[in-house]
Structure formats: structure tokens, C-alpha cells
A and B are shown apart, each in its own frame.
Chain A
Amino acid sequence: MTERRTTRSKRVWIVALTLALALFIAACGEEKDEEPAGGGGGESAAAGEDCGKVVLNEQAWAGSTANTYIAKAVLEDKLGCEVEITKITEIPVFQAMADGKVDAVLEDWQHVDEYEQYIDKAGTVVQGGPLGVEGHIGWFIPQYLMEENPELKTWKGLKGNEEMFQTAESGDQGMFLGGDPSYVQKDKELIKALDLNFKHVTAGAEPAQVARWSQLYKQQEPVIFYWYTPQFLNQQYDLAEVKLPPRTEANKDCKDDSKSGGDPEQYNCEYDITIINKLFSKKFAESGSPAYDVLKKMKLTNEDQELVAKAIAGDKEDPDEAGQKWVEDNADKVDAWLQ
């Protein structure tokens, strides 16, 4: 009896092991077969082999989705590349590029510390030149509020009017709704330097901040907040900007990022235009891939980017389709990148 049991249990094991082995071998074999099949709708097989696989990183916000999928459409349809999109958050993606896991980031908002570390010191990441989109940060209010109170055109009009923005959480001060803590900002310092009676309230990540001000917007209540362009929501909500003290020769050392802290006075000016950069992994830049040349020449305007971002995030279009549609509609621009 015992003997029979052993043989039987042995048999089960042998079957199980063979099965596992077969699955494993098949899985390995399959992998190799799949390689050339990549790349949706490539024009020719020859071009596909040239280009190979390109990894683009998409950031969380809609604008980044837009330019990433425009690039994807161009690389896939015009060069026959296989494009993979990763979604790694802003800071770790520098290490990803350094390790050659991500080839390109198309929208970087000037991460000065990381530039120093990865571009200047280690040289594992290289500058890819400006994307052409210009970032602009500022203090925004709803248009209806601006129409009722034209004096709010500049920050001086805010003085004495702060209680207009009072809410449950700001006490007897006005509420200033701060930006996503991960973004470049200096509003706490600006409020101090301009001697405004605002309480800086952090709403948290961007979706949470949008939830806060859009709710007040829909109620047609006053609200003032940190905001920026290009942003697809600017097409959905009618916003107006409050001018901050201009940058002049006198304050040309004025800083935008209060991360380093210090005297509020050194931040007392409007935010500078942010040149949005493309970044490449050094490996990719030196790989001789035709995709590199195209991405390097790629240029978008703020309108291009907002249009596609609105299609994706506002109208819930499929990002691939939205990207392809823009590429078809803007053949002249795309051709310039391909030369």
C-alpha cells in the first residue's frame, strides 16, 4: 500500500514539474518571437528595425500627457518605432534616465537641484533644449471677480480687499490657495514681502487644489490661488491674472523657488517665465537612434499643448487618438521635426 502511494504521488509531482517546465520554456520562447511585432502601424519593417524601442515618460498632469502622446504618434507612425510610456514621478525619473530606463522626458519644469546632480555632475542626463512651451506661474482669480473689481488687476488692488477672500479656515484673514506642494512656488514669502493680510492655505496635490477653487468658482464666490499656464483647465474656466511686482533691472536677482528659504524680500517679484525643457538620457542621446533627432527638433506652442490636453483630459478622448489627430492636422510642423 505504502509503495503504491509513493509512486502515485511521484507521478503527480512529475506531471506538475513537467508542466511547470513546459510553461517556463514556452514563456521564454514566446518572448523572443514577440520582439519584431512591436510598434503599432509602422510604415515599413526596415524603418522599424532602425528605430527600435523608445521609452518616454509621462508626468501626471494633462499637458505632459498631451506632448508625450504627440511624440508617440510621430515616432510610431512616421519612424516605425516601438514606443513605451512610463509614468514615473518627477524626481525619481532623473534616476530612471541615469540608469537608461527612460529615454526622454519632454516636459521638465526646471528642477535646478537635479540638473546640477544628474546633468552637470554625473553627466548621465543631457539637456534636450526647450520644448517651446512656456510655463507661466502667477496669482489667478476668476474673470467674473475681475470684472466686478477691476482694481484687482495688480497686487496693489488686493491691499485692503483681503477680507473679500475670507473663508471658514482663514479666520479674519483672506484665504490664498497655495499650489501643489511639489511645484515651484514662493507665495508664502510673497505674501509677507507684499505685506498682504492673506493666510496661505495648502490645498495639497493639484487635483485637490483644483477641487477647492473650482468649487468656489461654480458658486461664483471670490477666490485667489496659485495657478499656471499652459493648463487645459484654462479653456474650461475663465480666469484672470493678478499682476505681481514686475521684474526689473533693480531686482534682477529675484528668486522664484522659496525652497531654500531666507529673507522674503528676495522673492518680491512676479514669477519668471519658465522655459520648459526636454531631457534625454545620455545613453539614448548617444545611441544614434533616429528618434533622438526627431525628439530634439520637436517644438510645440502653448496652444498646441492645451488643445490636445483638453481633448484628453477635458473631453476624455483616447490619448493615442488625440495625439494622432494633432499630428495629422499639423503635418507642416511635424515635417519640420522629421527633416
Chain B
Amino acid sequence: VAVASGRVAAPAFAAPAARWRGRPAQVGAIVALMLIGFVLMRDEFPWPASLTWQALPERLDDFQTWLLEERTAEDPNFIFAVFDGFRAFAEWLVTAFNDALLWLTWPGVIAAAVLIVLRFGGWRAALVVAGAFASFALMGLWEESIQTLALMTAAVLLSLAIGVPIGVIAGRNDRFHRAITPALDVMQIVPAFAYLMPVVILFSVGPAAAVICTMIYAIPPAVRITALGIRGVTADSVEASRAFGATTAQTLFKVQLPLARRQLLLSVNQTIMFALSLVVIAGLIGGRGLGDVVTNGLYSNAALALLAGIAIVIMAIALDRATAAIAERTDPARAHLTDEGRRRARRATLATFGGIVLIVLIAKALGAQDIYPDEFETATSVYTATIEDTLLGWIQDALDYVQDPSSFIFGITEPIGNFMLEYLLEPLRIVLMETPWFVILAGLTAIAYVLSGVRPAITTFVMLDAIGVIGVWEPAMDTASQVLVATAMAVALGLVIGIWAAESPRVERLLRPLLDTLQTLPQLVYIIPFIYLMPVSRIPGVVASVLYAVPVVIRLVTSGLRNVSAEAVEAASAFGASRWQVLAKVKVPLARDSIMLGVNQGIILVLAVVVIGGLVGSGALGDAVARGLQRNEFGEGVVASLAILALGIALDRVTQGRRAARERRSGRGPGGGWTLRRRQLQP
């Protein structure tokens, strides 16, 4: 992977920029001025202490102590009773789902899942679901998978219960939408590590805390996509219903919601995907399940951690395919059935549930266990029922190969890692950290003005100032250097692969499972091999961010190119343009908005992995956030998280371009677009 990126990086990244409305010259000039500033005043102007709010981390620590004392006080504030009530409810819900899934017995769970998906989603999705459950069983991770499934179900239901109504309001009221957008941004960008301890203080450990953390991350996509769906209902339909004298409530329930049904189901799908990405974090605070296996496995049994990571991916893919298939099926456009068809559908539903009951009863009668067993016993002998050991053996073999510094692959990856560090990361880091702060501030603000306009420039200016004031200018510049290198690599790779996939549907089909895996596999899992293969400080963190961001860039580039109008392509071909000319002179320039969105999303996703980088030696902000939880340096952790947030907003504004700025002003766009993931990207 890295071989391609290293060589191709420069030209591929420059290609779209060169055609980008003639502004690259201005940006180049600004960068040149900044470099002159670096050379003239190198290392002379660090962020001044007089402009720093030194006491902030301490204040935050005091807040946490206060919270803890209030919580344990003799007569706690009544607000804690509310938290306790919610905790009890969430815990009850998770336990109820878990117990119900266990009560069904393992054959019953498989039957229920497969038959329901078969009835409402179709046989393809049902096949995927069947395969998923079969693999949980064979991996020997049945119980953990059920625990994770129960936790996710509870978290997703609660997220939807809160997110969908808010999304409906946001969809109908622009001002409300604009007002909550910043809050949604904060919820999605501030790393969960930062607020884990306060959540534990308020909700204790266990499923409730895990549910809360998951909800904080999963509610924003539910709100955004629901709002988008409600907005998508044409004004004509709404007008028509009003004309017929419908009340607001009637319009909402009879027109807007039914017409937005597909988007609503899509928001369910996305909420599930986002929730699943917090499984590992949930494991740290008693969420049990697969997350537990991953975090603890990393220390004592890396192969097992990888296996659990694969189980998470399988669960994500199965849930994604199942909900997507159900959403597709319930499309109102397809729902115009005849009476006969309706009757048949009802019968099928009854048969489905009857079948489930029957299978559960039979399973119980035959004495099937709650949990898929590790071994089957017959009267004469015992059979191993899983292939866990075989799988672990294979993974271990792969890990052993990776960990062997005399291996062929290490001979390639190690020099690449060293090269990246010496010629990309280190120089950029030195420039960013040692250029006078006011030069960086002025330069980035100017670039934001040139690329995106006045308002983004003001936001950039304020955000960068905030980073300095809270006292983390230096580590933020260190992190920024890593983010920029990782984004450049992700964009370069994403462009090449994305163009390839757009030109060849077969490549796209082959890529899909790989991209799904990269998006849902916990980063901590796939980072492990890279620590061995490229054992130099910040490189594994950069690789992890590239791998996380590249699928979205690929998908944006592919869908952008696909959306280029057929007429334009035909016209070019008619004038005798070759395939390459069509691509370079027509398709890529016409898809530039999509490609710029890819750059923008790349940065945001790379920032999401900064904390993981902190866990594998990237230092800087990610390290401070991780330490905040692990050493109870709450204040420092929150400050670093805020800096990541500020950096994210600043870089988003610098790169968002004019079009997004226009959309944001009119309140039309989905907000910074933080939520964009794969389904939205497909036309």
C-alpha cells in the first residue's frame, strides 16, 4: 500500500489543485511568504505565555473533582437522581436484550435473524446475516458477539429515539438546524477518551456508561440524515397537502415522514455503523463483548484481538447489508401492491414469526444451549465445535511473519517508514512548529480566505487563536504536520484508486468489502502489524489514519466521476479525445467539487484517528488525550481534545471551498459534512 503512495503522492495531489479556479498561484504565494517567515525568524516566536490561559487544565480538574464529590455526597443534587434513573433504564434495556437473545438459544437467534431479514430484506441480505452468525459461532466468540449485539441494539434504539425527533425539527426549521450543527460537530469530533471519566462518574461503569458514550457519537448522524430526508421531501408535496387543508401534524405524519422513509431507514443504518465504531472504547468501561476482547487481547494475545476485530467487521457488514436491504424493500415506490399481493405478504410475515417460534421451541425441546458451545458431546465422544484454534493459529502465523525483522516484507517497509519520517514528517513538523505563530496564523487565515471566503477565514482565525490560548500550540502544530501528511497520502491514493474504480465497475465491486472492512475494523487492531513493519514513532499512526480516510476519499472520487454528465463525455469523445484525455480534461475537472470534498473529508477522518495515533507513539495531542483518561489528567485531556476540535474546524474551513461555504450560509448543506460516509456518497 505504502509503496504506491510514496512515489505518486506529489503529482497526483497537485493535479486537481492545478485546475482549481486559478487560486493555486495565490496559495503558493502565501506558502512562500510563510516559508520566508520561517527562515527569517525560525524558532524565535513560540506562542507567548502571556496569551495563554494557564489555569484552564486545573479548572477542569477541579470540575471533575467537584462532580465526584457531588456524586458521592450525602444528599446528592436531584439531577443525579435523573442520571441514576437513566442508568437503571439503560442497564435494564441492555440486560433485557442480552437475556432475550440468550433465551432464544443459539439456533433460535440464528433462525430469528435470518428469517426476519429474509422476509423484509430479501435472500441476499439473509445469506449475509446467516454467514455472520455462523462465523461468530465458528470463531468461538458467540457470547461476546451477543453481548455486543445487545449493547448496540440498546444504544442504537436510544440514539434514534432522541436523534430522529430532533432531526425532524431540524428538517423543518432552518434556524434550529443551524443552532444545533455546532453541537453535533462537537459530539462527533471530540474523542470519546476525553469524556469517558465524567461519564463513568455520572453513570458508573457497565452497559449504561457504554450506551451513553455510544449515543454521544451516534446521535449526530441520526439527526443529520433525518433532517436531510425531511428537507428532501419536495415543496410541492407539502404545498399540496396544505392546500387540501392538512394541519401541520397531518402534513408531517402523512406526507413528510412517509416520503422521507428511505432516508429515515438510512439514518438507522448509519447510526448502527457509527455506534459500532465505539465498541472498543465501550470495552474500556465495562461494556463487555467484543470490545473487551480487543483491548485486553492487545496486551496478551494479539491474534485473539485481531479475531475479535474481524468479528466486529462481520457484524458491521451484516447489519449494514440487512438494514440497507430492508430500507430498499420498504421504498414507498415499490409498495403499491394488489390486494392479493398484500395478503401474500401478510401470510409470509405470519409464517416468518411462526417459523421462528417453532424453531425456538424445537431448539428448547432438544436442549440447545443459550450460547453456541465450544464442543459438542455425544454419548461416545466430544467434538470441537469451533475452528477458533485453527483461525488463531493462522493469524498468529501471519503475525509471526510480520514480527520477524529478517522477513522480506520488513526489508521493504522499514526503509519506507524511515523515508517518510525523514523527508516528509520531520521537515513539515519543524516548519510548522518553528515558524513564528503569527506567521502561521496569518498564512492559514489568508489561505482560508482565498480558497473558501471571508466567513471561513474568520472561523479559521478564531480557532487557531483558541488553540494557542488554551496552551497547546506546539503539540497542535505537531499533530497538524501528521494530519497534513496523512491527508496528502490518503488523497493521492484515493484519487488513483477512485479513478480506477470509476472506470471499471469490476474494480469497484472487488473494492467494496475491502473498503467496508477498513471503515469498520477497529483501528487499534490493524495498527498492530504496522507497528512491527514500520517501527518508527509517528509512522504507524499516519498509516492508520490513511487507511481510515482512504475509503471515503475513494468513494467520493468514484461517485463524483460517475456523476459527470454523459453528454460531456460523449461530446469529448466525438471530438476524438482518447480515454485518457476524456479523463484528464473532462471528467476530473468536472468532478472537482467531489474531489475537493474528498480532501476535506479526508482531513476530518484523519483527525478522528489522532487519539489512536497517540496510543501507538504519535505523541502530541493524541498522546495527551489518551493520557487524560489513563492517568486521570482530565484537564490536559480535555484541553487536547478541544485543540483537536479547533484544528478540525480550522482545517475544514480552509479546505471546504466556495461551494460548501455557500451551502452552509444558506443552511442547506448537511453542515461541515462530518457525517458523510459511504451510503450518502452513492448516487
Contact = CB atoms under 8 A, between A and B. Distances in A.
Interface in A14-48: 15-16, 19, 23-24, 26-28, 30-31
Given A96-B204, A181-B623, A212-B531, A91 B629 contact: yes
A207 B536 contact: no
A87 B283 contact: yes
Nearest to A22: B357
B103 interface: yes
Interface string A60-79: 11100100000000000000
B421 A98 contact: no
Interface stretch (B229-237, B266-274, B296-304, B514-522): B296-304
Contacts of B563: none
B349 interface: yes
B205 A207 contact: no
Nearest to B300: A313
A211 B617 CA distance: 11
B285 A91 contact: no
B535 A211 contact: yes
A215 B532 contact: yes
Given A31-B99, A204-B615, A204-B616, A58 B284 contact: no
Contacts of B418: 168
A27 B96 CA distance: 8
B387 interface: no
Interface in A172-227: 181-182, 201-209, 211-212, 214-216, 218-219
B403 to A, nearest CB: 7
Contacts of B302: 207
Contact of A211 (B196, B300, B392, B532): B532
B630 A90 contact: yes
Interface in A306-324: 309, 312-313, 316
A312 B285 contact: no
B299 A182 contact: no
B398 to A, nearest CB: 15
Interface in B279-310: 283-286, 288, 292, 295-296, 298-303
A259 B631 contact: yes
Given A95-B201, A218-B404, A204 B614 contact: yes
B419 to A, nearest CB: 9
A126 to B, nearest CB: 15
B619 interface: yes
Given A27-B99, A98-B72, A207-B528, A181 B204 contact: no
Interface residues of A, number: 67
Contacts of B392: 316
A92 B197 contact: yes
A251 interface: no
B103 A202 contact: no
Contact of B350 (A15, A113, A169, A202): A15
Given A168-B418, A202-B623, A1 B339 contact: yes
A149 interface: no
Given A60-B296, A211-B531, A182 B630 contact: yes
A261 to B, nearest CB: 11
A87 B200 CA distance: 14
Given A95-B205, A212-B617, A62 B300 contact: yes
A137 to B, nearest CB: 15
Contact of A167 (B99, B196, B531, B536): B536
B357 A19 contact: yes
Given A19-B353, A211-B528, A168 B298 contact: no
B346 interface: yes
Given A92-B197, A181-B623, A182-B626, A99 B103 contact: no
B301 A313 contact: yes
B36 to A, nearest CB: 25
Contacts of B618: 204
Interface in A263-292: none
Contacts of B250: none
Nearest to B204: A99
B14 interface: no
Nearest to A92: B200
A208 B205 contact: no
A253 B301 CA distance: 39
B615 A208 contact: yes
A181 B339 contact: no
Interface of A: 1, 5, 8-9, 12, 15-16, 19, 23-24, 26-28, 30-31, 58, 60-62, 65, 86-93, 95-96, 98-99, 101-102, 111, 113-114, 117, 121-122, 124, 167-169, 181-182, 201-209, 211-212, 214-216, 218-219, 259, 309, 312-313, 316
Interface of B: 65, 68-69, 72, 96, 99-100, 103-104, 196-197, 200-201, 204-206, 283-286, 288, 292, 295-296, 298-303, 339, 342-343, 346, 349-350, 353, 357, 392, 396, 403-406, 417-418, 421-422, 426, 528, 531-532, 535-538, 540, 614-619, 623, 626-627, 629-633
19 contacts: A5-B342, A65-B300, A86-B205, A87-B296, A88-B286, A90-B630, A91-B629, A92-B200, A92-B286, A114-B632, A117-B65, A121-B69, A181-B631, A204-B618, A205-B626, A206-B299, A207-B302, A207-B531, A214-B403
Given A27-B96, A58-B296, A316-B301, 18 more contacts: A15-B350, A23-B100, A89-B285, A91-B630, A96-B204, A122-B68, A169-B537, A202-B617, A204-B614, A204-B616, A205-B298, A206-B299, A208-B617, A209-B617, A211-B403, A215-B535, A313-B301, A316-B392
